[in-house]
Structure 1
Amino acid sequence: MSPIRRFTHDTFRSLRHRNFRLFFGGQLVSQVGNWLTLVTQVLLVLRITDSALALGLLAAAQFGPVLLLGPFAGLVADRSDKRRLLLIVQSLAMLQSFALAALAFLPEPPLAGIFAIAVLGGVTVAFDNPARRAFVVEMVPPAEINNAVSLNSALMTSSRVIGPALAGLLVSTVGFGWTFVADGVSYVAVLAALLAMRSTELHRGPVTPRAKGQVREGLRYARRTPDVWAPLVMMAVVGTLAFNFQTVLPLFVTRDLGGDETVFTILFSVVSVGSLVGALAVARRTTMDVRGVGVSAVVFGVSMGLLALAPNLAVAMPIGVLVGFGSIGFLTASTAIVQLRADAAMRGRVLALQAMVFLGSTPIGGPILGWITQQLGARWGIVVGAVAAVGAGLWGMSPARGGTPRDVGLTASDTAEPAPA
């Protein structure tokens, strides 16, 4: 086998499975649409308010429900048919995009309405996130879970390359309203993919029966499993302060680099290119270890520090690639460890807990960084995130976190029997 064919075979091996191919294609279209809405919401609120604090509050509105509903949403995922749950959630998300479009077409879009739909979108994300990520595990055999998780991360970051750039183009040519409409239409792809899947080819784990104390049981399980707990702690710190650099980035571009909305979407896409490279690099790995997660957090933090020092856009662009590489390297590695090590019956709750500490930390960190940016400037907002990422990474690399660094491989608890024909 030639080196190129071997690279392709090793990197994309989970796409041999029909259900995962359908999921991958549908999600690629839909996630581009999601980034259309996320970036367009930011640009619309920035156009209305020109306020860093307002952008921080928007982030809080978008992800606050994840913090509040995370454990319950994970329990729902464990108890439910995940494909059916995703069909419901994705349909609701489509309606929300069309509602945003209706507001954006008004002569003066109401800020309260935009924030209200952002909250509803956060509720959707709270249920979608654990169900979608747990469903990835059901579409491939156990030996290819790590590859499927990594390719899913690569898909997400590919959409981050295309979506923001497309958002800038559409907003400048057809306006905010039609950009939201484009996102609503994109949900057709993922809904069609889910409906076309073969349920007999899914590798389903056990469905969790109803019982008291199941949310607390998920928390206790995570706490006593080092390969789950250490990534969660790092994700809480990095998610609160470092990943919220996206809240600061629009102001950094417009106030410090002298750019406009188009320049922001270009820099955002450049960061996403680095993320795509990082995700594909992780996809080739067959094992993960907690210390490696710490290293990627340090790389992320150092690159953010360099970005804060960038004097102009020409310098910021190549550094943005490093920021993307470090950010997705951290996120993909930590996610893969949690998904691989979580028991099948606990996976939905553990992934919801992960979403809660990562996405749910946004409503805490977003306003904090928004206030720092408002008071001290966007560069200081980025520096705070850089210090947090480096600190969390050094803790993850240190024996002080407890346990010993080791590769994470599959055990019997990671396997699931295929659904009966």
Structure 2
Amino acid sequence: MAARLPALRHRDFRALWIGSACSSISLWTLLLGNAWIVYKLSDSSLWVGVSTFASMSPYLVAPLGGMVADRAERRILVRVTRLATFGVTITLTLLALANVIEVWMVVSLAFVQGIIRSVEIPSDQALLANVVPISDLGNAVALTSTTQHGSRAAGPLLAGPLLATIGVEGAYGISALFALLAFASVRRVSVSSRGGVTRLRDVGENMREGMVYIGRTPEVAAIFILVFAHCSLTMSFDAMLPGFAETRLHSPSGGFTIMTFGVGVGALVGTFVLAMTTGARRGPLLLGTALASGISPMLMAGSHHVPHAAVGAILMGSSQAMFMALSAVLLQEVVPDHIRGRVMSLYLMSAGGVMAFMNLGFGAMADRTGAPILFFLPGAAFVVITLASIATGPYLRRIYRTGTAVAVAPAA
């Protein structure tokens, strides 16, 4: 096992990885609690979409966070952002305990949390590349993706019973606890890491370097485009789940928790399998998971009972998490370190930013059309896009064949 997971041999990586796992559990527990309490207070998928939008919309300015990650000491940035996350979660816990929590409070604090994450994620991703040698980077990225995506299972497992008994304050309390553990773990990281930004005031020039790199590296640009389509069409379903559980599955609390848990279990298993996979096999896996990412929501659309929906959720979680993890591995292996924070923040913007808007739109439409059609049609559209990329995309076709983004272009 140690030979298949070489990144775990490095002390700083283990500390960063454990901290990332705790941070992700905190995040997904928080998002689960937010969706549950907002739907309970408003009885509207639209407001769940607004809450999700508030959490993700700051990712649209993630490139600014990436600039900070390429300027400041990255381990300090991660510590500060995780401590700030604890502040947000403990505030929500206290509001829920005092029984004064309202939708606008949840939405406002979700927005603050999104801003914090837009700095934390690029900093964490850039730091990751400095705690392992390049030979172990692919395994390190895959293991980190395992915890980030697999934590979707831990959230419902820990918070689901509390939502049904104690209430949302239990979920928020769990989120606060893991935020504190995440901070404690990253304090053990000793490696120093900085990027190539010398003056934050030169915003335009700093961002231009990242965008020019992407534009001059067609393999990287192709991955960005495919990720954008993937996140907008297959992963923007969070706002629809509470309403889908109530109106389609007739199981408001249990169905919602089980579906969210299923997505997490699928993601955990899928990304762990990926962590054991190397080399050219990643290419066919990227193509296969892209197709499965579109097909699985189509299957979810046909669910009328909780067991069927759980199976659909597991398939969605495994395929979508593996696809996102593979795309991150491919990028991390070729992006130069001095612009890594900026490029990965643009990646975050293309993924999380579009999901913010699509969740808002799908949440609004689900109240009128129902969720099933919004699972089916976008999923089918992404299947068509993926098939078209085989026929018309030479760079993606090469990645599907070789399992690497190959070229490393100059930064400017």
- Shorter-chain TM-score above 0.5: yes
Q: Compute the displacement of 1:72 (Å).
A: 1.2
Q: Which residue is equivalent to 2:310?
A: 317
1:81 aligns with 2:73: yes
Aligned residue in 1 for 2:196? 207
Aligned match for 1:216, one of 197, 208, 215: 208
- TM-superposed CA distance for 1:125, in Å, is 1.1
1:159 positional shift: 1.5
Equivalent runs, 1:81-160 vs 2, <5 Å: 81-160=73-152
TM-score, length basis structure 2: 0.91
Q: Take 1:153 and 1:195, find their aligned partners in 2: how far apart are those partners? A: 21
Which amino acid is the alignment partner of residue 208 of structure 1? V
Contact 2:220 2:405 in 1 (8 A): no
Q: CA RMSD in A?
A: 2.2
Do residues 63 (structure 1) and 56 (structure 2) align?
A: yes
- Residue in 1 that maps onto 2:182: 190
Classify the secondary structure of the residue corresponding to 1:213: helix
- Paired position in structure 2 for 1:333: 326
Distance change (3 Å), C-alpha of 1:293 and 1:308? same
Query: 1:419: which partner in 2?
Result: none
Greater CA drift, 334-343 or 21-30: 21-30
Q: Deviations over 1:320-343 (max 9, x none)?
A: 221111111111111111111211
Q: Give distance in 2, aligned partners of 1:351 and 1:101.
A: 32
What do residues 11-31 of structure 1 show as CA deviations (whole Å, max 9, x unaligned)?
Answer: 422111111111222332332
Q: Output the amino acid matched with 1:226.
A: P
TM-superposed CA distance for 1:309, in Å, is 1.0
Residue 192 of structure 1 aligns to a residue whose secondary structure is: helix
| CA contact 2:222–2:396 (8 Å) conserved in 1 | no
Residue 380 in structure 1 maps to residue 369 in structure 2: no
Distance in 2 separating the partners of 1:389 and 1:248:
19
1:16 and 2:16 matched: no
Change (3 A) 1:403 1:148: closer
Aligned equivalent of 1:3: none
- Give the drift of 1:206: 4.9
CA deviations on 1:196-240 (whole Å, 9 max, x unpaired) are 2232xx6x4753322551112211211221221111111212212
Please state how far the C-alpha of 1:292 moved relative to its aligned partner: 4.5
Q: Residues 164 and 265 of structure 1 are in contact (CA less than 8 Å); yes or no, is this contact kept in structure 2?
A: yes
For the 8 Å contact 2:262–2:313, the answer to whether it is kept is yes
Q: In 2, Cα distance between the equivalents of 1:245 and 1:401?
A: 30
| Change over 3 Å in CA distance of 1:122–1:325 after alignment to 2 | same
Q: TM-score when scaled to structure 1?
A: 0.90
Summarize deviations over 1:255-292 as a string: whole Å, max 9, x none. Answer: 11111212211221122111112101221222366664
2:167 is aligned to 175
8 Å contact from structure 1 (residues 100, 180) kept in 2: yes
Runs of 4+ aligned residues of structure 1 deviating over 4 Å after TM superposition are: 288-292, 401-404, 408-414
334-343 vs 140-149, which deviates more? Answer: 334-343
Task: State the shift of 1:412 in Å.
Answer: 10
**Contact 2:59 2:118 (C-alpha < 8 Å) held by counterparts:** yes
CA distance in 1, matches of 2:159, 2:384: 34
Indicate if the aligned counterparts of 1:66 and 1:360 stay in contact, CA closer than 8 A: yes
Which amino acid is the alignment partner of residue 241 of structure 1?
A: L
Alpha-carbon separation, structure 2, partners of 1:49 and 1:183: 23
Q: Which runs of 5+ in 2 are unaligned?
A: none
Is the 8 Å Cα contact of residues 231 and 290 (structure 1) preserved in structure 2?
no
Instruction: Report how many aligned residue pairs link the two structures.
Output: 403
CA apart distance, 1:411: 7.6
